Amino acid sequence: METPNKRQPAPDLKDTIGLVGKSEAFEQILETVRQVAPTNITVLIFGESGTGKEMVARALHELSPRKNKPMLTVNCGAIPEGILESELFGHEKGSFTGAADLRKGYFELAEGGTLFLDEIGELPPATQVKLLRVLEGKEFMRVGGNKMFRVNVRMIAATNRDLEAAVQREEFRKDLFYRLNAVNIFIPPLRDRKEDIRELTIHFAEEVCKANRIRFQGFTEEAFEYLKNYSWPGNIRELRNVVERVIVLGKGEMVDRLVLETQIRERVETDRNLPVLLHKTSEQAERELIYRALLDIRMALEDLRHLIVAGAPLRIPAHSDEGTVDVSVPPIPSETTLNGMEKNLIEKTLEQFRGNRKKTARALGIGERTLYRKLKEYGIDR
């Protein structure tokens, strides 16, 4: 007979929200989620765009006593500054032009549940002040109102920005940062979680096939190897899109390496030729284009390095009737190889942060465990 206090099994996070993985980094994330989910503590999730921050937030909600109450998501970077406070805290009728009726904000609508504030680093200063008051006093006031409302909401925030650096630049309030950062969860980019790629690919394929009623023949081992070695600048979101596209466009046929290479190359070329989105500043757009170009260069250099290491001759176009000629390439000095450049970059960054490995890892955009592994690999002792 089951006793009332017997612990109930946790829900299957793969089936409920699609949280999938088996890497050490993923297991650490899951363990942290299990530890803090039953509490009311504020959690800050950080990681690159597309790494699955919202899924981790939803796992925190699903494993909490609040799971039967609403979980609402607010993208702080997608709501215009002029109406953001009204969206969060609500407004009274007639409080501003266009406020024809009373409106409840997300804090009221999420009462008893969880409020997930994505892209928290994009909050304007005035809203940061009001959010801090809610965190500290558990109460707020609607825009245009004079009545205080008590709130019982668990707050989870996420960002792809370095908030510590934003605090130093006085772009983000220090007191709000420390209030949000009671517990932090770092989600590494997919390129540092290669062990998870096969499982994620299979999971996304199952979802696509079920949603579109497609009988899929699967991926070849070469296809899985290609997926594992690709850099995934768009992280999990990009992987999901690629899997969906190759299955739907291929009508369920077996997916091999060539299909993936073609689809990813076409996507990159299409993305590069798209017009700049209007909501991006010229500086953001330029930075994104540079980043894409650097990724292409990195991939080309990596392919070239593999050819050289393997001892394969390079086919170079020749100005003769023979068309192409085979040439041998002399050994590349270590300081000009990708590994050499990476080692040099790590050493310079460590020096910049005076040996602080946590700050170094964040600046490099990698996990601390990945940094430790690379320090050992390159024999860097700091």
Closest CA to 371 of 357, 382, 353, 354: 357
Closest Cα partner for 199 from 23, 58, 54?
Answer: 23
Domains 13-188 and 191-273 share a fold: no
User: Which of the residues in the chain have pLDDT under 70?
Assistant: 1-16, 94, 97, 99-100, 266-338, 382
For the chain, first and last CA: distance in Å? 57
Token pair belonging to 142 = 């609607």
* CB atoms near residue 77 (< 10 Å): 16
Residue spans per domain, the chain: 13-188, 191-273
- pLDDT at position 377: 82
pLDDT at 292: 52
Half-sphere exposure of 313 (CA within 13 A, CB side): 8
pLDDT for position 167: 93
pLDDT tens profile 52-82: 999 999 999 999 999 999 999 999 988 887 7
Phi, psi of 221 (to 5 degrees): -65, -35
Distance of CA 356 to the CA centre of its chain: 24
Q: Please, which contacts does 303-307 make with residues 24 or more away whose CB atoms are closer than 8 Å?
A: 305/332, 305/337, 305/338
Please answer whether residues 184 and 42 qualify as being in contact, where contact means their C-beta atoms are separated by less than 8 angstroms.
no
pLDDT at 7: 39
Residue pLDDT, tens place only, 12-32: 666 667 788 999 999 999 999
Looking at residue 268, its pLDDT comes to 55
Alpha-helical regions (H) of the chain? 13-17, 24-36, 53-62, 81-89, 106-109, 125-137, 163-168, 174-180, 197-212, 221-229, 235-249, 257-273, 282-309, 338-352, 357-364, 368-378
pLDDT value at residue 15: 64
Give the residue carrying structure tokens 């500290």. Answer: 136
**CATH code for residues 191-273:** 1.10.8.60
Torsion of CA 371, 375, 380, 382, to 10 degrees: 50
- Nearest residue to 366 (alpha-carbon basis) of 18, 25, 23: 25
User: CA 131, CA 148: separation in Å to the nearest integer?
Assistant: 14
Q: Provide the pLDDT for residue 16.
A: 66
Helix axes 257-273, 282-309, angle to 10 degrees: 150
What pLDDT does 379 receive? Answer: 84
Q: Which residues, other chains included, contact 20 with Cβ-Cβ below 8 Å and sequence gap of 6+?
A: 14, 196, 199, 200, 203
Task: Please state which CATH class domain 13-188 belongs to.
Answer: alpha beta
